[in-house]
Amino acid sequence: MKNPLKPERVVIKGIKKQTYDTTTYTMVFEDNGVQASYSFQPGQFNMVSLFGIGEAPISLSSEPQRKNSFDHTVRAVGSVTKALTRLQEGDVVGIRGPYGSSWPLEKARGKDILIVAGGIGLAPLRPFITYMLGNRSQFGRSEILYGAQTPQDLLFADEFKAWQSGNTRVFLTADRVPKGVVWIHKVGVVTTLFDKVTITPEKSIVLTCGPEIMMKFVVIELLRRGFSEDQIYISLERRMECGVATCGHCQIGPKYVCHDGPVFAYKEIRDLFGVVI
């Protein structure tokens, strides 16, 4: 985009409810030329503006190879995201981006892939998953571990069957299962799924995103299993307001999450981000 601080007008073309508080919005730039030139890498985010209300950084959740539109999967937790739930198809919002670093596609080619996600953390991983599945011959085996608070909180549940094919396996867990809900998968936090993992540190890479406390114990378990610090990639969330490493709200030591991240090799931030480990 020509001016990184100027939002472009975007029309909401589709709205799909994922859970009671999370929705996927399909968006298209009003300017056909802007839409034609827009592209992003898996793991990047946009600044989404609701005129007169504010901006919020939101990860892209659609497949990067789709060129005629893009998706944001949004949990309604703040003023901007809650206001977004009041909009309808045809309404206009503002978009700046894409910003930030991405999942390491090139480094992942030819390797086995272990993906560990928690809750809304599956949204920024979905573009990598869809790209991998669409280019299956470029990657080795893959295993996806995904957990949420309850079965009703799982995102993209209608896609799991398609994901689990060929060399890809999907394992699910829920922290708790409400009475009367049929659930044939694991019960517990996402790290309880590690006993299903067959991918080993040799010729592999790990991508993880979710609550910080989840990522902390995921990293501990991965290191215990022999994965190295430069094999583990995590996506961080910090208060990002400008998206271009100027305001300093998302700074951790010398790193700006909006610019140097949100995706980091764990080795890069081990000594800066003590919350993880």
Distance CA 141, CA 159 (A): 18
Query: Is residue 70 a contact partner of residue 123, using CB atoms and an 8 Å limit?
Result: no
Q: How much is the pLDDT for 173? A: 98
Distance CA 108, CA 85 (A): 36
Query: Is residue 45 a contact partner of residue 100, using CB atoms and an 8 Å limit?
Result: yes
Residue 7 DSSP class: P
Residue with the two structure tokens 């991405």: 102
User: Residues 247, 116: one domain?
Assistant: yes
The two structure tokens encoding residue 209: 């995103």
User: Residues 163, 181: one domain?
Assistant: yes
User: Residues 66, 197: one domain?
Assistant: no
Give all strands (DSSP E) within 76-228, no chain letters.
92-99, 112-118, 142-148, 168-174, 186-187, 204-209
User: Residues 46, 113: one domain?
Assistant: no
Task: Give the gyration radius of the chain's Cα atoms.
Answer: 18
In a domain? residue 132: yes
Q: How much is the pLDDT for 248? A: 86
Q: How far apart are the first and last CA of the chain?
A: 37
Query: Is residue 249 a contact partner of residue 238, using CB atoms and an 8 Å limit?
Result: yes
Domain edge (last residue) among 98, 116, 132? 98
Domain edge (last residue) among 49, 64, 98? 98
In a domain? residue 3: no
User: Residues 225, 112: one domain?
Assistant: yes
CATH at 70:
2.40.30.10
The two structure tokens encoding residue 52: 């007169």
209 is in an annotated binding site: no
Q: Spell out the per-residue pLDDT of the chain, length 277, in tens.
A: 567 788 999 999 999 999 999 999 999 999 999 999 999 999 999 999 999 999 999 999 999 999 999 999 999 999 999 999 999 999 999 999 999 999 999 999 999 999 999 999 999 999 999 999 999 999 999 999 999 999 999 999 999 999 998 799 999 999 999 999 999 999 999 999 999 999 999 999 999 999 989 999 999 999 999 999 999 999 988 678 788 888 888 888 888 888 999 999 999 988 875 544 4
The two structure tokens encoding residue 134: 């669409």
Query: Is residue 272 a contact partner of residue 252, using CB atoms and an 8 Å limit?
Result: yes
Total domains present in the chain: 2
CATH at 157:
3.40.50.80
Query: Is residue 236 a contact partner of residue 273, using CB atoms and an 8 Å limit?
Result: yes
User: Residues 55, 116: one domain?
Assistant: no
165 is in which domain, residue-wise? 105-269
Buried b (16+ CB within 10 A) or exposed e, 5-28: eebbebbbeeeeebbeebbbbbbb
- Helix or strand holding residue 263 (H, E): strand 263-265
Query: Is residue 200 a contact partner of residue 173, using CB atoms and an 8 Å limit?
Result: no
242 is in an annotated binding site: yes
